[in-house]
Structure 1
Amino acid sequence: MPGARIDGDERITLRTVEEEDVSFVQREATNPEIRYPMGKPLRTRRDVEEYLKEENADRFLVCLDGDDAGPGSPEEEDVRRIGCVSVEDAAWKRPELVYWLIPEEHGNGYGKAAVSLVIDYAFRTYDAPAIGAGAFAFNDASRGLLESLGFTEEGRRRKFMFIDGKHRGIVQYGLLREEWRTEERA
């Protein structure tokens, strides 16, 4: 079952990733609709367990809570897992966001809500002047999400990774702390 509630809004809840969530993360990490847009290799359960134990990252489940889900570890039937958002490398360089949602929830605004909450979390937790994120050039939805949150394109890495039979470029984005504060007021 998902862990304790970290943050949320009227639509979604961020919860800690617990050992019981490995199957969900691993199952979705093998889904080509998620794996290819993120440029991730196939991962075994052991790979995912090790990934989730890595230090220097804060990982959150994106959940839809039922009416009976409390702030602690809720019952399995009271929470529906729909994705994951991570803040990586925050302790030693500029934090980087990594995020995904299950394909059936794309386009419902849950990604924007979850990433917004994690940006707030990162700026409250870390004394970083900026947050970064990357999206493959072909991933229009992810690039649109970042741009809608005020991220600015900072550069491109051409033919960055071989994904789904082609070399793909990646677009690097950044959001300055003062830009987020301005974005929040707008």
Structure 2
Amino acid sequence: MPGPIIDAGERVTLRAVEREDAEFVQTCATHPRVRFSLGIDSHQTKAEVRERIENDTENEGTRGFLVCLDEEGAAAGDPDEEETTPVGAVHARAVDRERAWLGYWLDPDYHGEGYAGEAVELVVDAVFRSHPVHGISAGAYGFNEASRGLLESLGFTQEARLRNAWYVDGAYRDGVQYGLLRREWES
């Protein structure tokens, strides 16, 4: 069950990722429509996901958030199951360095609703507000127009295209790297 509220927008709430969220993360991140866009070639067990959640929680350079849709009046601390619905995750790694790395995904049942854009915007703002990073990087596959459009809508600039960089789902795929500098975000 998602933990306490970290930040909230108009429609989404960012909550702390708890160990008990491993099943949700594992189920969604390995869904074919999500796994393919993340480049995950193998199915991760709940134990592996729990271990990654624990490692991320202990790592000072990583900030992970569960993207939730909260009912009106949902508890700010640990909500009841009917008060919040987890729909995805956003993480920022290397927030203790010059350039953080952003990653995100949503349950396919919630694609196309604008939840990812709102959640990513909240995290980008939080990273720049709370950490001395000079910029934030993110990547997307060349074919993932939705993810690329999300990054571009937030002001990210395409910095590189890595041709046939990853072998995913039986074919070589291009990767596109994006960057956003602090001064660009603040202006």
Give me the TM-score of the superposition, normalised by structure 2.
0.94
**What is the correspondence of 1:26-175 to structure 2 with a 5 Å cutoff?**
26-41=26-41, 42-54=43-55, 55=59, 56-175=61-180
The CA distance in 1 between the partners of 2:165 and 2:39, in whole Å, is: 10
Deviations along 1:15-41, whole A, 9 cap, x unmatched?
000011110001112101000011123
What is the identity percentage for the equivalent residue pairs of Structure 1 and Structure 2?
48
Structure 1 regions of 5+ residues with no counterpart?
A: none
Contact 2:3 2:15 in 1 (8 A): yes
Contact 2:141 2:175 in 1 (8 A): yes
The CA distance in 2 between the partners of 1:179 and 1:51, in whole Å, is: 32
Name the SS for the 2:161 alignment partner. strand
Structure 2 regions of 5+ residues with no counterpart?
A: none
Which amino acid in structure 2 is aligned with residue 64 of structure 1?
L
Q: CA deviation at 1:53?
A: 2.0
The CA distance in 2 between the partners of 1:123 and 1:76, in whole Å, is: 32
The CA distance in 2 between the partners of 1:46 and 1:91, in whole Å, is: 27
Who is 2:22 aligned against?
22
The CA distance in 1 between the partners of 2:148 and 2:90, in whole Å, is: 15
Q: CA deviation at 1:111?
A: 0.6
Which amino acid in structure 2 is aligned with residue 130 of structure 1?
G
TM-aligned CA distance change 1:93 to 1:47, over 3 Å? farther
Which amino acid in structure 1 is aligned with residue 136 of structure 2?
I
The CA distance in 2 between the partners of 1:136 and 1:119, in whole Å, is: 20
The root-mean-square deviation of aligned C-alpha atoms, in Å, is: 1.0
TM-aligned CA distance change 1:43 to 1:93, over 3 Å? farther
Give me the TM-score of the superposition, normalised by structure 1.
0.94
Who is 2:7 aligned against?
7
